[in-house]
Structure 1
Amino acid sequence: KYYRTVSANYGMSYSISNVMKDATYENIQKWLPEDLDEHYVRNYISNKMLYPLYIPQDDTQIAIEHATARGAIRMSKRHHMKMHFNTQKIGFLDRLKHMDFDKFMECFYVEKLQEQRSFHMKDIGIMIGAGGVLSNAPSSTHALITICDGLKPEGITEIWRDKYFISPHLGKLSEVNSELASELLHKECYQKIGICIRPIFQKMKADQKVMEIIIGEQSHKILSNSIKYFPNEDKTLQRILIKLEKGFSLGNNDHNYEFETELPILVDTRFRNNTSFKQFNSELKLFDFENSAIALEDCFSSYLENKKIDEGTFTIKRELPYSGNIFVTKDEEVMPDTLIGENKYAPPKIYVLSLFTMDYLDLNPELMKKSMLVEEGDSVKFNQKIIEISDRGMISAFSGKVGEYRTPVRGKIEHINFETGTIILREIQDYSTKPFTVKIAKELKINPKHIKGYLKKREGDFVETYEPLASRLEKDFSHVIHAPTSGVITNIDTQKGTVTIQYKNEPYHIYANVSGKVINVEETLSATIK
């Protein structure tokens, strides 16, 4: 299957400052030398946003861009996973309601379908990186480690890059000449730059032997929390043999692997929170910080010539990205630090229900109009009946047709299209920021200290309402606990056998940033200042 998501505001030119804001400076700095000046990093990223055509001039600036790229890739990956999960869940929950299972089989079926829809990094054989930072990297090794640190592959994964960043253009060319586009894609665009080997483990101690890797005739012992790079500059076909220690795997139960390749090998056994710049740079020898960084004033001076500063009275519109709260009124005097508006929650999710694709409903435009129990603007609960087909008889029932439809999600009906059979719902964002405690041990009838073995999520994970939180599937006892609310798992208490869920979201604020007078207010969206 093919799934696509677009994280447009995580680019490395006009959006690079947004990457720093969302990833946080601390998460970018951890991929850089500890003594690198914070002001230099922040100012470089801000100037790159203003002048996106600027090309980094030294290793310091290249390192900053690659550190930021890691943050952008990681956030885009999380966004992709979340969007894919939410999109699939609607149809999944809806199908489940119309299946006839006993209690045990229903729990088992839920578990298996959830597992099928899970996304395992170990199942990916090839990862491809594209973009200016990767295409213009000083070497393919720079691109290799950036892609691996950003996407965090597991098992054995080939890493490719778009060498000249032409894949978007070839996509357009494919509409005119698909054969030529395919030929150029494989001959001129894709470049195989390495193989990443990342063992999977539950627990790993410091300086523990993880594996032995034999490349050609040479054997290498790999310890935990290490990174090893084996270049292959002359592209000699090499035989690779891997012997894993107990407790480690590369995606299945085998402990010995053998294959041949011409590509460099990157073996990564670093702890998940290990982002030591000194460690990976010492092994891969990517950046030289012997010389001091170039002054930014000199780097960007050519962009600052003939910049005229306008003076006078101006109007400026301060606008929220989406509907929220505006705190100022017309004719109010404001200062630069005046809070204009706030988006308290993340952008509301949009759900599209396609009723004509559901064979068990057998709807058409006229029947849908006649059977609809709700209208645009209504708020609906999860599992609320919104369609009731009153004249559907026994013959329809025997043929698998049903006489009602219930919503698989909770939301506000924004639009109903009777011609296409679609209903669009917007997420209702009335989340409570108060912590919600779920009594896992009590509901599953287990010892509190054992609850982690039954949980589907870890501390720090985000869960959606109705998402499976924990389960116990046994012949004499079968029960799945669904999350009663959306939020982050903030605590797993193995003494009380409870899990605490709390919705946490940093509000987005817009400030005046100028002194003036509010001359117009667009309710819930913007304010114009003179």
Structure 2
Amino acid sequence: SNVLAEAGLANIMRWVPFTIDEQTLRNRIKNKMVRPTTIPQTLDELQIEHAIAREALRLALIHHKSLATALKGIQQERTISDVFEQQQSGKTLIDMLKLDLIVGSGGILSHAPRRIQSMLMMVDAYEPLGVTRLSVDSIFMMPHLGVLSAIDEKAATDVFVRDCMVYLGTCVAPIGQGKDGERCADYAITFPDGRIDKGQLSFGDLRLVPLASDQKASITIQPVKQVNLGAGAGVSVTREVQGGVVGLLLDGRGRPLQLSTDHDVRVAALKKWYQAVDLYPVLSAEK
């Protein structure tokens, strides 16, 4: 209900890949508010929960950015220089382009039926820029490990490393906008066995490349002139990427991520993206 009040119904509805009237959606959200521990029984219910989660995560990041700001009128020294950059006072210190790893925690991310669902919720909500690794708290144990660390730091660390962190994979997200279907970037992925996968990423594309958790690959991306991957517009970038239980996600939907205001166009785009990464079983069967 807090998410509904703060984000608004329209922002939640934009992530729902089917037609639903506002009152029905409000009723479903209210039912969840009254019975928060219920498990979705249908695919529609699951997709609505994931739509709400996207907005909750987006709002949480906005709130976090608003807290991580420079003190107004005071010059400060920085120690975590790669992530927190010195800016004029009052501006956020978080630079999404410099984040190497995003860790998601919370019941909706930990208990999603498929790990790709957790990964795409985080990508849609946080809109990582450039090349970013994503992981999730396996069974929502981070808060408990925080308490345990006060008693036995080594035990908490061991559990965190071995059982808590589930590495989902790496997201490659070019920064820029373009018309759907137009070329966004060319890429070449060199796998550990020497195999090279070359292709073109178009605007509006979402592509999942299998890459196991214990594997690393090298990716070279040549964006078009108006697209940036962190080195400047149109400048080629080569990075080592780590795999995960999901793999390597190539996100050509553009940054900032903009969904169509036309209902039919938006629903068609959502279905295309969800099918491309095998997000939900029923949608996969509709291919």
- Bucket of the pairwise TM-score, normalised by the shorter protein: 0.7 to 0.9
Q: Is 1:73–1:151's contact at 8 Å kept on the other side of the alignment?
A: yes
**Residue 235 of structure 1, CA deviation:** 4.7
One-letter code of the match for 1:242? Answer: T
| Aligned counterpart, 1:209 | 183
CA–CA distance in structure 2, aligned partners of residues 127 and 223 of structure 1: 25
Q: Is the 8 A contact 2:87 2:93 kept in 1?
A: no
Aligned to 2:80: none
2:31 to 36, 40, 47: 47
Instruction: Return the TM-score normalized by structure 1.
Output: 0.45
**Distance change (3 Å), C-alpha of 1:114 and 1:212:** farther
3-state DSSP of counterpart to 2:150: coil
Partner of 1:119: 94
Q: Using the alignment, how far apart are the partners of 1:24 and 1:48 within structure 2? A: 16
The Cα offsets for residues 137-171 of structure 1, whole Å up to 9 and x where unpaired, read as 01110100001111111011000000110000000
Whole-angstrom CA distance in 2 between matches of 1:160 and 1:38: 33
Aligned 8 A contact 1:242 1:257 in 2: yes
Asked if 1:155 is matched to 2:130, the reply is yes
Shift of 1:208: 2.8
CA contact (8 A) 2:138 2:166 kept: yes
Letter of the aligned partner of 2:227 in structure 1?
Answer: F
**Structure 2 residue aligned with 1:433:** none
The CA distance in 2 between the partners of 1:30 and 1:289, in whole Å, is 20
Shift of 1:268: 1.2
Offset of 1:134 from its aligned partner? Answer: 0.7
Q: Which residue number corresponds to residue 256 of structure 1?
A: 237
Instruction: Judging by fraction of residues, say which structure has more helix.
Output: 2
Partner of 1:273 in structure 2? 258
Task: Report if aligned partners of 1:30, 1:277 keep a CA contact under 8 Å in 2.
Answer: no
1:324-363 to 2 correspondence within 5 Å?
none
Return the letter of the residue paired with 1:249: N
**Given that residues 206 and 225 in structure 1 are in contact (C-alpha distance below 8 angstroms), is that contact kept between their aligned partners in structure 2?**
yes
Structure 2 residues without counterparts, runs of 5 or longer: 77-85, 260-265
Q: Equivalences for 1:383-422 in 2 at 5 Å?
A: none
State the 1:229 CA deviation.
1.4
How many Å separate the matches in 2 of 1:197 and 1:61? 30
8 Å Cα contact 1:135/1:165 also seen in 2: yes
- Which amino acid counterpart does residue 119 of structure 1 have in structure 2? I
Bigger strand share: 1
Q: Counterparts of 1:115 and 1:128 in 2: how far apart (Å)?
A: 26
Q: For residues 236 and 180 of structure 1, do their structure 2 counterparts lie closer, same or farther at Cα, with a shift above 3 Å needed? A: closer
Asked whether 1:93 is paired with 2:73, we answer yes
How many residues were matched structurally?
254
Distance change (3 Å), C-alpha of 1:262 and 1:75: closer
User: Which residue does 1:231 correspond to in 2?
Assistant: 210
Q: TM-score, normalised by structure 2?
A: 0.80
Distance 2:217 2:144 in 1: 37
Are the counterparts in 2 of residues 60 and 289 from structure 1 also a CA contact under 8 Å?
no
Identity %: 26
| AA matched with 1:257 | T
Larger RCO: 1 or 2 (CA < 8 Å, sep 6+): 2
CA contact (8 A) 2:65 2:93 kept: no
Specify the SS of the correspondent of 2:131. Answer: strand
Amino acid at match of 1:210: C
Alignment of 1:115-514 (within 5 A): 118-201=93-176, 203-215=177-189, 216=191, 217-232=196-211, 235=213, 237-245=215-223, 246-253=225-232, 255-263=236-244, 264-271=247-254, 272-274=257-259, 276-288=269-281
CA RMSD of aligned residues (A): 2.5
